[in-house]
Amino acid sequence: MSALIERIRAAVGPAGLITRADESAAYATDWRKRYFGKPLAVVRPASTAEVAQVVRACAETRTPIVPQGGNTGLCGGATPDASGTQLVLNLSRMNRVRAIDVRNHTITVEAGCVLANLQRAALDAGRLFPLSLAAEGSCQIGGNLSTNAGGTAVLRYGNTRELVLGLEVVLPSGEIWDGLRGLRKDNTGYDLKQLFIGAEGTLGVITAAVLKLYPLPRSRAVAIAALRDPESALALLEKFQDACGERLTGLELFSDFCLTLVLGHFKETAAPFPSRFPYYALIELSDTRAGEGTKSLLEAVLEAALGEGIIPDAAIAQSESQAQAFWKLRELISEAQAHEGANIKHDVSIPVSRIPDFIRETHAGLARAHPGIRMVTFGHLGDGNLHYNVSPPDGVAADVFGGHLGAINRIVHDSVARFGGSISAEHGLGQLKREEILRYKSPVEIELMRSIKRTLDPHGIMNPGKLL
């Protein structure tokens, strides 16, 4: 094994290799501190050629590789196992913007580029890179691509997958595939880049990408609407889609219990209305036109919704700081729930039209099994993606509640399946849902995925134990 380490050291230099356990520990633990691994070493290559040399050495010695970006994934996908035989391949040093083609609306970046830095590089060129999520200060584009990350602007711009034109990948053999094409039309056979997007590092190491840029929005308007039930959220969504088209950038849903948690744990936050309602929708419109037009449009649609009785109340942000304060109410829910104590998370998607029935039926099922269970229902309603989390009934201890994890997952995920949904909408499978997915995908689909894996990675060295 030391021969391999020396070969890798020769390839990446001393700055690119960490072998001491105390220094590698941070790379061996996931963000939620649920998985603790023990890596053979942590390698931090500085170029695609170095990645290729490392992967080739690993292929020859059958050494497992765990690709790692910002390590903010929520499913243990970037964490090595405890065997001490897996190499963590961290992309952080590959963080250059290689090129921006303003007129082609494209940016070419290396995989280790932190998402916030990528957004800033686009902004400096007068363009928008629209992918946006709460982890953007730490997560890297390579990780975003490998998990096909979603976030808060999917309604308007799509998932990460929709933002990609080309990829550069180091294959499990150590060969480099240069697919860095900046083309919006290219019908020359299989669209291979799609295989690596959302593959969670199981098919190769993404080293660079050509991404789509968009014109900069020059105005935005944000509001919170009060809701009596999820049905009216759907009616409101439809109204905004009809009236605003692609100006509708986001439509997020959260329940009153989510608001209670945020207000309780973050003293700087304030309720949007003098009275409380069962649910709320946070709506954002944006436009490339500057001026008050976007806000006027928001007002007009909300007024119509009030007039038709779809919503009982609405509050429109009167300043940028108020818009940010509204968004905080939505963004702080996960953290507030963490402060509250143990909870069980679900990241599910359902056809948007069926979300109200899903919420009603699943809650009824959970309440029957666990009277008093507290639903922390929120998410990206416009995308049909709910973070359908549950907290224990008052007075039930965390470890007791944790003992019901499997049974609660079964109720929620079986309900998701009945409604034609997915048990992982945006976070991926990683280690967390690798077994669970076997219940919900057909044997034909699982075998198809396995055969692709075997073809690209015949020795099974790329991120073993994840996804499949």
Is residue 54 part of the contact set for ligand FAD (CB under 6 A)? no
Q: Answer whether 204's CB lies under 8 Å from 167's CB.
A: no
Is residue 111 part of the contact set for ligand FAD (CB under 6 A)? yes
Which among 456, 433, 451 is positioned nearest to 34, based on CA atoms?
433
**Residue with smaller CB distance to ligand FAD, 117 or 219:** 117
For the record, the structure tokens of 44 come out as 């931090």
For the record, the structure tokens of 119 come out as 């957004």
**Residue with smaller CB distance to ligand FAD, 298 or 425:** 425
Phi, psi of 350 (to 5 degrees): -140, 150
Is residue 68 part of the contact set for ligand FAD (CB under 6 A)? yes
Q: From CA 422, how far away is CA 379, in angstroms rounded?
A: 14
Q: From CA 113, how far away is CA 115, in angstroms rounded?
A: 6
Which value, in Å, is the radius of gyration of the alpha carbons in the chain?
23
Closest residue to ligand FAD, based on beta-carbon distance: 143
Q: Candidates 24, 144, 349, 377: give the one binding ligand FAD (CB under 6 A).
A: 144
Helix (H) or strand (E) holding 198: none
**Residue with smaller CB distance to ligand FAD, 77 or 382:** 77
From residue 424 to residue 453, the character string flagging contacts with ligand FAD as x (rule: CB under 6 A) and all else as - is: --xx--x-----------------------
* CB atoms closer than 10 angstroms to residue 370: 18
Residues 6+ apart with CB under 8 A from 426: 147, 148, 149, 150, 151, 159, 347, 349, 385
**Residue with smaller CB distance to ligand FAD, 197 or 416:** 197
**Residue with smaller CB distance to ligand FAD, 392 or 464:** 464
Task: Report the nearest approach of ligand FAD to the CB of residue 149 (Å).
Answer: 4
Site for ligand FAD in 184-223 (CB under 6 A): 200-201, 205-206
Q: From CA 357, how far away is CA 126, in angstroms rounded?
A: 43
Helix (H, G, I), strand (E, B) or coil at 114: strand
Is residue 273 part of the contact set for ligand FAD (CB under 6 A)? no
For the record, the structure tokens of 431 come out as 């280690």
Is residue 67 part of the contact set for ligand FAD (CB under 6 A)? yes
Is residue 73 part of the contact set for ligand FAD (CB under 6 A)? yes
Helix (H) or strand (E) holding 456: helix 443-456
Of 37-45, 131-139, 212-220, 360-368, which part binds ligand FAD (CB under 6 A)?
A: 131-139
Q: Answer whether 213's CB lies under 8 Å from 128's CB.
A: yes
Is residue 463 part of the contact set for ligand FAD (CB under 6 A)? yes
Helix (H) or strand (E) holding 99: strand 97-101
**Residue with smaller CB distance to ligand FAD, 230 or 430:** 430
Is residue 330 part of the contact set for ligand FAD (CB under 6 A)? no
Is residue 146 part of the contact set for ligand FAD (CB under 6 A)? yes
CA 71 to the chain's CA centroid: 12
Of 175-183, 224-232, 264-272, 423-431, which part binds ligand FAD (CB under 6 A)?
A: 423-431
Task: Report the nearest approach of ligand FAD to the CB of residue 336 (Å).
Answer: 12
Is residue 142 part of the contact set for ligand FAD (CB under 6 A)? yes
Q: Answer whether 282's CB lies under 8 Å from 322's CB.
A: no
Q: From CA 176, how far away is CA 168, in angstroms rounded?
A: 7
Q: Candidates 37, 69, 179, 382: give the one binding ligand FAD (CB under 6 A).
A: 69
Is residue 384 part of the contact set for ligand FAD (CB under 6 A)? no
**Residue with smaller CB distance to ligand FAD, 286 or 334:** 334
Q: Candidates 150, 230, 250, 384: give the one binding ligand FAD (CB under 6 A).
A: 150
Sign of CA dihedral 204, 208, 213, 219: positive
Of 62-70, 227-235, 258-266, 403-411, which part binds ligand FAD (CB under 6 A)?
A: 62-70
Q: From CA 285, how far away is CA 312, in angstroms rounded?
A: 20
Task: Report the nearest approach of ligand FAD to the CB of residue 148 (Å).
Answer: 8
**Contact residues: ligand FAD, CB under 6 A:** 31, 66-74, 77-78, 91, 111, 133-135, 139-140, 142-144, 146-147, 149-151, 200-201, 205-206, 426-427, 430, 463, 466
